[in-house]
A and B are shown apart, each in its own frame.
Chain A
Amino acid sequence: MSDILKSSRRAFLRGSVAAAAGAVTAGAARAATPDPLITEVQDWASGLGQGVDEVPYGLPIEFESDVIRRNVEWLTADTISSINFTPIHALDGTITPQGCAFERHHSGAIELKKEDYRLMINGLVDRPLVFTYADLERFPRENHVYFCECAANTGMEWAGAQLNGAQFTHGMIHNMEYTGVPLRSLLNEAGLSGETAGKWVYVEGADASSNGRSIPLEKALDDVLVAFKANGEALRKEHGYPVRLVVPGWEGNMWIKWLRRIEVLDQPVESREETSKYTDTLADGTSRKWTWVMDAKSVITSPSPQMPITHGPGPLVVTGMAWTGHGRITRVDVSRDGGKSWETARLSQEGGNKALVRFYLDTDWDGGEMLLQARAMDETGYVQPTKSQLRDVRGENSIYHNNCIQTWHVKSNGVAENVEVS
């Protein structure tokens, strides 16, 4: 194996081939000389570490400083109305830490105190109500793990392979455990009379964009959650502190942050976010609207362009994540030859309802080139399509809901690249 291979990951991250990598990784198979990390007493084995009062709330250790959200500057006009990407390439398991979970704002992340928080329910209800944050805490609570995916995730890849990294192609997603009150409980409190069919709730945020969206009342009464905790702690500012809406399985734009109002209506509002945006233009120029559900999708997070293989042939862990807005992921297949043949990967746990699942293919790499792909299946029998299958139906002008099979070209030196294959 060449030095380039040994240091490729670090070189990639630091933008320099000169990075010191050699000695440590080289010792994998057989050490010629004793490893000083073992034979010499290291500072950390002799001196003292940090006291318990130094970091009241901890951040990841400095050596992980490259595992951060990143944005793509050319995508949007301004970082205040923009999006960044979860470093999914460097994460494992299923839960996304809040601090690196992607953000999407339309008027920036606002600061709203719990004391200043009000939630109004009005419209076609028996009693229009106003709740404080403290009121919400008195309703029976539930905990659920759900994925939240922006409808535009992988949107830049419609026309062809563009961004070289799983973080950028698939990082508009996170998966957290939410604590909150079912929206149903709040609507019940305000009182609904008559038919639910044909009715809608309009939900909006307290920020300047308001980001209003219309949701059919059936969904609102089904599994929508008014959440105030994620992964056990308060929501982060950038995810809607103190209260956001969780709309399981549906596009992230509907997960209203800084939720301030829920209005029951007999028609959709047809707001900006559900007409001019988040609609899918087909080849003939007509556009689909109300495309809320996120279809089954998967991606290999390692190896991937930001996670080259840094060891030689032999044992290799191929891993990635899969999710579906239709319920549970039941199976993920992996191909090493660009889709000619497939083998079924191992799910690390049973797929949760509308939650992300982790898969592994524990394999033996022969050091040859691979065209790595993953293909998810969900409990409805839906099989994740190829990009050409999607294009055959929708053309190339869609932006949202690109759930195509992704291909990474892994070269014999371990470096991976985002490619499109026939």
Chain B
Amino acid sequence: MSKFPKAALFVGAGAGIAATAGLAITLADRFVTPMPATAPTIAFQIPGGGAPAAEVIPAATEVAEQAGLAEPADVPQAGAAASAPEAPVMKMAAAQGLTDSRLGLGRPALEAEIAAWDVDILPDGTGLPEGSGDVWTGEEVFAEQCAACHGDFAEGVGNWPTLAGGWDTLDRKDPVKTVGSYWPYLSTVWDYVHRSMPFGAAQTLSDDEVYAITAYILYSNDIVDEDFTLSHENFLEVEMPNAAGFIVDDRAEAEYAQWRAEPCMENCKDSVEITMRATVLDVTPDQAGAAEDPPAVEKATVEETEAVEEAEAVVPAALDAELVAAGERVFRKCKSCHQVGEGAKNRTGPALNGIVGHPAGAIDGFSYSKALKQAGEDGLIWTEEDLKAFLAKPRDYLQGTKMSFSGLRKEADQAAVVEYLKSFAEE
């Protein structure tokens, strides 16, 4: 319905540069000072254009939106017909870069909003907040927040990224690309840790913690000494070992020049030999239809009866306060993914209130791995013993679990965490 009038509007807007320039100035003014809703708006009157003013979006609504006073209501949608041809105004923009033909949409971003979202750090240090952190503080924070995936010494756990080491490997087979061996800018480390880490709890670290973690990663890479403190003031003094290791894409010279040629069609080579076969490696995933062949969870199935019996045997016993306290400390390792206690919600991992004695894979609203869900359906109950076994080496205990934590090596830690979790019985 709105197709024809709107198309006409754009034809009008694109009809002359002079017309659109005038329009832009008027709109620009409106961004400086929100106009009263009653102000006469000439913004959409287009001299020489084909659009009657009556077809134009109501000015009052428009101004109200600019001032952030109202959500766009039932205003006819510009270009509502998806099939509308490219409006002339767009072609103009394409041909000349940009025109001044603004539509007056959106509202000014407030300083506090820009400050909240614009947190990127540039290689020259632009954007770094004031603050500092030393290697030793960094080690503590790293152990608590990062080591579950990246290892105590930033060496990486399983398939999680290795952050340290790898020097002199870039020109060898399977190079090890770490902050020390590969990353060209320190700003990238600060920016990424600050914006996106820890995994599952991004934007929870303080600026000083980010400085400290960054300092520890530098230390793990032998780039700084153990008494080093990183701050916004000395940030640019740190020299990244592989800073000079990058070149800008040179495919045009190195590749395109030789591969833009008429290709051979006949007798292109004398012989062809098979030099490698994928099936020899046998690394292709099983491709049975997902619905008809759920992943096997043998361990859980086998223990089903036993587990149920044990679960029935669980009786509320007095908690060992000391052990609970110890468990609370160990549980810090779990906190980036799990919440427990009042108001606990599912995060990267499920909320854990009442987990001891609870059927596996059955916390409301959490999206479990197929493996854990299946184990629950097969009757696995989280008895203390099962939880301890799971916590020792999650992926050995239950193949296919999403829990990326590598495990609690010490039996005392396992027991402590379980005791701590027991203190949060379900309401």
Pick from A73, A192, A397: contact of B175, CB below 8 A.
A397
Using a CB-CB cutoff of 8 Å, which residues 245-300 of chain B contact chain A?
245-251, 254-256, 259-261, 263-269, 271-279, 281, 283-293
Pick from B249, B289, B290, B293: contact of A292, CB below 8 A.
B249
Please name the residue on chain B nearest to A422 by beta carbon.
B273
A185 interface residue per 8 A CB criterion: yes
Please name the residue on chain A nearest to B403 by beta carbon.
A78
Contacts of A164 in B (CB 8 A): 278-279, 284
A380 to B255, CA, bound (A): 13
A122 interface residue per 8 A CB criterion: yes
Contacts of A286 in B (CB 8 A): 170, 245-247
A383 to B172, CA, bound (A): 29
A298 to B293, CA, bound (A): 32
Check A188 against B196 for contact (C-beta < 8 Å): no
Contacts of B136 in A (CB 8 A): none
Indicate the member of A106, A164, A260 with the most B CB atoms within 10 Å. Answer: A164
Contacts of A107 in B (CB 8 A): 196, 199-200, 202
Smallest beta-carbon distance A261→chain B, Å: 5
A165 to B28, CA, bound (A): 56
Check A393 against B254 for contact (C-beta < 8 Å): yes
**A/B pair count, beta carbons within 8 Å:** 335
**Residue-by-residue, is B321-361 near A (CB-CB < 8 Å gives 1, otherwise 0)?**
00000000000000000000000000010000000000000
Smallest beta-carbon distance A272→chain B, Å: 4
Check B183 against A275 for contact (C-beta < 8 Å): yes
Check B118 against A188 for contact (C-beta < 8 Å): no
Smallest beta-carbon distance B64→chain A, Å: 13
Check A380 against B120 for contact (C-beta < 8 Å): no
**How many B residues have CB within 8 A of the partner chain?**
113
Using a CB-CB cutoff of 8 Å, which residues 167-213 of chain B contact chain A?
170-175, 177, 179, 182-185, 187-188, 191-192, 195-196, 199-200, 202-203
Which secondary structure characterizes the binding site on chain B?
A: loop
Indicate the member of A123, A134, A270 with the most B CB atoms within 10 Å. Answer: A270
Pick from B173, B274, B284: contact of A397, CB below 8 A.
B173
Contacts of B82 in A (CB 8 A): 141, 143, 179, 229
A42 interface residue per 8 A CB criterion: no
A51 interface residue per 8 A CB criterion: no
Using a CB-CB cutoff of 8 Å, which residues 69-89 of chain B contact chain A?
71-72, 75, 77-80, 82-84, 86-87, 89
Pick from A71, A135, A192, A275: contact of B184, CB below 8 A.
A275
Check B118 against A263 for contact (C-beta < 8 Å): yes
B402 interface residue per 8 A CB criterion: yes
Smallest beta-carbon distance B81→chain A, Å: 9
Smallest beta-carbon distance B119→chain A, Å: 9
Pick from A12, A287, A393: contact of B246, CB below 8 A.
A287
Check B267 against A396 for contact (C-beta < 8 Å): no
